[in-house]
């Protein structure tokens, strides 16, 4: 088949499935989050973080980073959602191997370019470069964003996970030390949210901002 | 407020709204598409297209392209979804101006970096560089992907739009001539889908691929 | 085309879209409200308010009022939902003009009767007659009803808007002075709801009422 | 309690439930229709039909008609949705009595005005006046509108009901003889839709109309 | 028609409707509960309760019990959901009779076996045997489970019903005296949940359990 | 903790999760099916099949069968949904082991009774007894029921899976030879459905049956 046809088949028949696969599949959710939406936010956050690090003199390969954000969950086209706890548990090794085969299987439809994408996927998954660390960190931030959103919609099932993740955030400080104050502010923000801090709630509710906009004119 | 606090506020209180704003708001839809999901696909597609063009000897600034994909609908954080037809119609000029003010207003929370992001947003919106053209083209492809998905879920309300967009695709040939055969294949694919071509349907249904995977072992 | 055919086309192909267009499109919502549902409540409330005013000796054209309730958002068949804040902002004039053209365009399918409906739409939008004021007031009450419902479903994103609207209600007192005590009670009710007043909550939860019904027998 | 308080309680604690009660509760549905949305359409349609009849020299009390449209399903605040077939079946008499008690119970919260509303509800339910007939007819049209919408979203479960209702429409000709050609056109429209008539589908898909709008300028 | 064909028609055309009929149809709900899901839980709970009673020396016909759990709401295939309060109210007798005819009508498709199923349905409905009492009790527990789930998703509309049902649970003690301590614990659990007891909330949020699982390894 | 408390915790904090876990997580679905709903249908179908086999002189332990239906997917409380194809693929052994540990972990909360339930779960999973075969067969039938339902709602993504499963049904003939004609009828029914057989469609649409009911009177 021609390269164009393969690209089109990849796009319409495989990759687009990421908008139909929803994360956190064993938790009662009010606004399920697709892998596509998650991938967008991970890539967007990694752009923000990279620009922040660059402004502090750190060298980051932003292009590689954004491409890794695009690709980091691509294996789910084949496997669907598997909850994180399973992937971190006793069967991590087997599940990692399965994911690698799925990522490779799906990307090989794209020929030699697919091999390069697979290398980026693998780098994002194994996590030793700075860029891989940033992806891992943004993956975690997006969990927190999602938990705040669900909590704010009223769903109490994710409050404990939110607290758990917020309190674990400091583990990223030795990994990404230049982000120390960002990480501390973020932890603080999440914990203040959980405690019902009125300033945080006001910011999230945003009605104020909407009316600021009106007043601006 | 500290730079970190501003970033956190931007992330949690503004940018995350893109996952709650759904496109095509005046069409009956079965699986509404958020702006976040759309932005992911536009950025992903632009990566694929850029790599294809590069392999044909075209120079593309992939990093700029991916950042433009991330940012190109950011003004909707403020405005919500406004259907495309309005934005292209008689009031285009006023709505463009409004969108520009909204994008600028939302991004200025990010300080000087926000100004650079706004410049990228503007480039994506006005569309004279190669990268802007690619974003515009991928924006269009994602409309087609979404129409195929809704149609395949059974929704007939988007079939005519699908046909309309597919038949207009050739207008991109003079704009992106290196993509001629891709555009022709894509037009063909969409029109064959609408005619119920069994090979296309089989590919989309994908049950086959799933069972291939089983057989592989 | 015959008048009957035009009516049928208007009903099946245009007007019915109001049940597929959902309001507040940039706010995370748990139970999205269609324009059809909103229009029902605005018309219903205007009937209640009119009957109340009439009982106080005010002359109200109830028929005109109900027709205005039916028609007041008809332009959204064409435009889809545009969030209120945009329509009130800097671009009000342009958007008003656009809405007028859309309302006129959609209603002209109904021939000379459509022109009369358009006149009612315009009266509802420009708001100088008593009936137009009542529609505007009921439009506002329905925002409060919707915010209470979402809040009671657990959604915190609309609490601030609820407070904002409740506190602005008194601005209607000089416009509809005969409704002063109704407006004051309504403000009170909304603010007590936000403060978690147990009597209000009990009323809304209604389980009691259901069991009253059983006990009644 | 003051009259104002009673009105507010009726609005916030009872009447608003009509937007949470969904019709056709034993049929698989893609876009469930609330009683509020249904009531809007019945009232709107009755306005169109009344104006058509008036233009043919028939005397119709439009105000009464619109009020009846507002009120005709109000008993469902108490009872929830009960599928039509039950209400028409062997237990019609008992269910009618139950509905009457529920309507009366809910409306008595509105004092003497509530008694008048109950009289309108009863007139709409028993159906001997011209206005009651129009409500009954519009109730039926809305069933057809809903079936067309669900069918067009892909749901096949309502196609047979659509055909059944369309073929029964002619029974309204002796009841509302002035609407003969409207009824015939409507029957025709529904049956052509079921047969996949391309002109009807084109009208419903409406993409064309959207682009007409663009071309207009 | 052959017995096999009748079974297939019963399965695909009638019984499967229980997954499309949602309970509590006049209450705003976040995660509507199908009759299929409810029936599963009633049967499952009755298995647990029966095993508990058996371990205390009570004789229970578990097979009959599970079959009754499977069948106890089968009449809703025909009637759809009718809210409990109606079925318990003034029209109980008529509605009971209607339900009996519906259950009989639907089950007679299964021939003589259907007659036996109908006998089980009737036993579950009339409630004099131990097994019928257990079904009634589990039906009530599932109401409490559902109210807790909705409440935990943020929905306040069911909190009062939860309290009402929890406080009525003790009425089951004279009916199922061997379950006294279970009933007392259950009442306690529900009331502690409503008061926001941190231990109960922690258990329900379950994030802890997930991480226990990880730590286990 | 007391036995009662453990039962309550199992019910409210673990088992109820089966109503929030949805199957086929990587397929676009219109009406997602919970594990609770699926378990209900598997148990119900196994009751029907067992009664059929018994009427043909086969000995079946119906009680064990129903309990196995109740329990057969209980491990998903811990793991969430994992798509079938993964569980059947190259990593079957590891995933089977993981599932066994999860089932055991979740059921051990129920003490010695939990051990018996686990034995039933294991029997259902490993499949050598007649009862295990029936569960496996009913699991497959429910996949077909779900695919028919989604297809009938308009979703084309499951048509190929439906065809695939229908054509594989005959593999059950040597396993459950007494069901040969049932299996053949079922295959036939599913394939006729896919071909749009008008009698099958009429049966599924059921509008006819509803009106039969009316005519009955």
- The whole-angstrom distance between B97's CA and the closest CA on chain C is 9
* DSSP structure string for A118-156: HHHHHHHHH--SHHHHHHHHHHHHHHHHHHHHHHHTT-G
Asked whether residue E11 carries a pLDDT value surpassing 90, the answer given is yes
CA distance F156 to chain E (A): 18
Bin E196: left if φ > 0, else alpha if -120 < ψ < 50, else beta: left
Q: How many helices (H) and strands (E) are present in chain A, helices listed first?
A: 12, 0
Percent residues over pLDDT 90 in chain B? 82
- The β-bridge partners of E34 are E22
Phi, psi of C11, deg, nearest 5? -70, -50
- The Cα of B136 is separated from the nearest Cα of chain A by a number of Å equal to 17
Chain F residues lying within 8 Å of A97, measured CB to CB: 91
Q: Number of residue pairs across C and D with CB atoms under 8 Å?
A: 147
Q: Greater confidence, F108 or C37?
A: C37
Which chain F residue has the Cα nearest residue B215? F89
Return the closest-CA partner of residue F42 out of E132, B211, B90, E15.
Answer: E15
**C-alpha span between B98 and B50 (Å, rounded):** 30
Query: Alpha-carbon distance C67 to C168, whole Å?
Result: 27
What token pair was written down for D22? 């969904």
pLDDT at residue number A217? 39
Q: Which residues of A touch C167 (CB under 8 A)?
A: none
Nearest CA distance, F164 vs chain A (angstrom): 18
ipTM for the complex?
0.95
CB C124 within 8 A of CB C72: yes
* Distance between start and end Cα atoms, chain A: 57
Q: What is the mean pLDDT of residues A10-16?
A: 94
- Smallest CA–CA separation between C145 and chain A, in Å? 17
Mutation test of the interface with chain C: which of B15, B73, B80, B95, choosing the one with the most C Cβ atoms within 10 A? B80
Question: Is residue D87 scored above 90 in pLDDT?
Answer: no
Nearest to E19 among F12, F37, F186 (CB): F37
Q: How far is A217 from chain C (nearest CA, A)?
A: 6
CA dist., res. F136 & res. F127, Å (int): 7
What is the spatial distance between Cα D159 and Cα D154, in angstroms, rounded to a whole number? 10
Burial class (CB in 10 A: 0-12, 13-18, 19+), C2: exposed
Nearest to B28 among D149, D207, D217 (CB): D149
Residues of A with CB under 8 A from a CB of F: 17, 20-22, 25-29, 76-83, 86, 90-91, 94-95, 97-98, 101
- E and B touch with 3+ CB pairs <8 Å, answer no
Contact B89 D214 (CB under 8 A): yes
**pLDDT per residue as tens digits for the range B97-114:** 999 999 999 999 899 999
pLDDT for D149? 97
The pLDDT of residue D216 is above 50? no
Q: What is the pLDDT of residue F170?
A: 97
Whether pTM exceeds 0.90: yes
CA E200 to each of CA B71, C162, F108: distance values in angstroms, whole numbers, following the listed order: 43, 31, 20
Neighbors of chain E by Cβ distance (3+ pairs < 8 Å): A, C, D, F
A–C interface: beta-carbon pairs under 8 A: 51
Phi and psi at residue F207, in whole multiples of 5°? -50, -40
User: What number of other Cβ atoms are within 10 A of residue B126's Cβ?
Assistant: 11
Per-residue pLDDT tens digits for E76-94: 999 999 988 888 877 888 8
Q: What is the pLDDT of residue E87?
A: 84
Handedness of CA F47, F50, F54, F59 (dihedral sign): negative
pLDDT digits (tens, 9 = 90+) for D100-111: 999 999 999 899
Q: Which of C30, C90, C161 sits opposite A217 (nearest CB)?
A: C90
DSSP state for residue A33 in the 8-state scheme: P
List the structure tokens of A68.
Answer: 């890794």
How high does pLDDT run on average in chain D?
Answer: 92
Is the distance from CB of A117 to CB of A110 less than 8 angstroms?
Answer: yes
- Per the structure block, which two tokens stand in for F194? 């896919």
Report the mean per-residue pLDDT for chain A: 92
Token pair 């009989």: residue: E104
C-beta of residue C120 within 8 angstroms of C-beta of residue C68: yes
**Chain E contacts of D89, Cβ < 8 Å?**
98
- CA B18 to chain F, closest CA, distance in angstroms equals 22
Q: Do D189 and C43 touch (CB under 8 A)?
A: no
Report in angstroms the alpha-carbon separations of A135 from A41, A53, A60, A138, B39. 11, 14, 12, 5, 18
pLDDT digits (tens, 9 = 90+) for E31-89: 999 999 999 999 999 999 999 999 999 999 999 999 999 999 999 999 999 988 888 87
Q: SS3 for C34?
A: strand
Quickly state the pLDDT bin for E164 (edges 50, 70, 90): very high
B vs D: CB pairs below 8 A: 49
Q: What residues in chain C have per-residue pLDDT under 70?
A: 206-217
Is the pLDDT confidence value at D207 over 80? no
Give the Cα separation of B77 and B35 in Å (integer): 9
Residue owning tokens 């759990």: E69
pLDDT for C198 equals 92
Q: Do E86 and D97 touch (CB under 8 A)?
A: no
Rounded distance, CA F55 to CA A66, Å? Answer: 65
How far is it, in rounded angstroms, from Cα A206 to Cα B96?
24
Q: Which of F150, C165, D65 is nearest to E19 (CA)?
A: F150
- At B215 the pLDDT is 35
Q: Given an 8 Å threshold on Cβ–Cβ distance, is F28 in contact with B149?
A: yes
User: For residue F214, is pLDDT > 80?
Assistant: no
H helices present in chain E, as ranges: 3-9, 35-55, 62-71, 76-79, 84-88, 92-107, 111-126, 130-152, 159-168, 180-194, 198-205, 207-216
Q: Residue B175, class by beta-carbon neighbours within 10 Å (0-12 exposed, 13-18 middle, 19+ buried)? A: middle
Contacting residues of C for A207, CB less than 8 Å apart: 158, 160-161, 163-164
Q: Tell if the CB–CB gap between B207 and F88 is shorter than 8 Å.
A: no
Cβ <8 Å between A25 and F101: no
Residue D213, pLDDT above cutoff 80: no
Contacts of F154 in chain D (CB under 8 A): 30, 153-156
Cα distances (Å, whole numbers) of residue C57 to C178, D75, D162: 10, 30, 48
Q: What is the pLDDT of residues D44-80, one digit of tens each?
A: 999 999 999 999 999 999 999 999 999 999 999 999 9
Q: Which residues pair with A34 in a beta bridge?
A: A22
> Cα torsion at C13, C15, C19, C25 (round to 10°)?
100
Crossing angle (nearest 10°) for helices B180-194 and B159-168: 160
Q: Comparing C-alpha atoms, which of D80, D72, D45, D90 is closest to residue D127? A: D72
- Cα–Cα dist F204/E13, whole Å: 5
Find out whether D54 and D34 touch, Cβ atoms under 8 Å: no
Interchain proximity C25–B26, CB inside 8 Å: no
D45/C41 Cβ within 8 A: no
d(CA F76, CA F106): 9
Which residue in chain D has the smallest CA separation from E15?
A: D26
| Predicted confidence (pLDDT) per residue in D121-149, tens digit | 999 998 799 999 999 999 999 999 999 99
Chains that touch D (3 or more CB pairs under 8 A): B, C, E, F
Among chain B residues, the shortest Cα distance to C18 is held by B26
Separation of alpha carbons C98 and E139, rounded Å: 56
Chain A partners of F22 at a C-beta cutoff of 8 Å? 25
Q: pLDDT exceeding 90 applies to what percent of chain A?
A: 83
Identify the three-state secondary structure at position D22.
strand
Structure confidence by residue, pLDDT tens digits, A111-169: 999 999 999 999 999 879 999 999 999 999 999 999 999 999 999 999 999 999 999 99
- The model's confidence at residue B214, banded by pLDDT at 50, 70 and 90, is very low
CA–CA dist C141, E91 (Å, integer): 36
Contacts A22 to B, Cβ<8 Å: none
Top-confidence residue, E139 or F87: E139
D121 and D71 Cβ atoms separated by less than 8 Å: yes
Chain centroid, CA B49 distance in Å: 13
Name which residue leads in pLDDT, F212 or A167.
Answer: A167
C48 to chain D: which residues are within 8 Å by CB? 7, 11, 110
Q: How many residues does this entry show for chain A?
A: 217
């Amino acid at each position: 088949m021609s390269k164009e046809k393969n690209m089109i088949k990849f796009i319409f028949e495989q990759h687009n499935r990421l908008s139909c696969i929803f994360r956190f599949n064993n938790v009662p959710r009010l606004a399920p989050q697709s892998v596509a939406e998650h991938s967008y936010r991970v890539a967007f956050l990694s752009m923000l973080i990279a620009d922040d690090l660059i402004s502090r003199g750190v060298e980051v390969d932003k292009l590689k980073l954004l491409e890794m954000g695009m690709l980091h969950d691509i294996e789910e086209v084949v496997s669907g959602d598997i909850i994180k706890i399973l992937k971190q548990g006793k069967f991590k090794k087997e599940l990692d191997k399965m994911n690698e085969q799925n990522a490779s299987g799906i990307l090989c439809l794209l020929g030699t370019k697919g091999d390069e994408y697979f290398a980026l996927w693998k780098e994002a998954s194994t996590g030793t470069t700075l860029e891989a660390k940033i992806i891992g960190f943004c993956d975690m931030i997006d969990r927190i964003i999602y938990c705040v959103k669900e909590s704010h919609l009223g769903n109490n099932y994710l409050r404990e996970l939110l607290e758990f993740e917020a309190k674990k955030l400091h583990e990223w400080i030795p990994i990404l030390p230049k982000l120390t104050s960002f990480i501390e502010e973020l932890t603080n923000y999440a914990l203040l949210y959980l405690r019902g801090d009125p300033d945080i709630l006001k910011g999230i509710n945003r009605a104020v901002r909407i009316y600021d906009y009106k007043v601006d004119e």
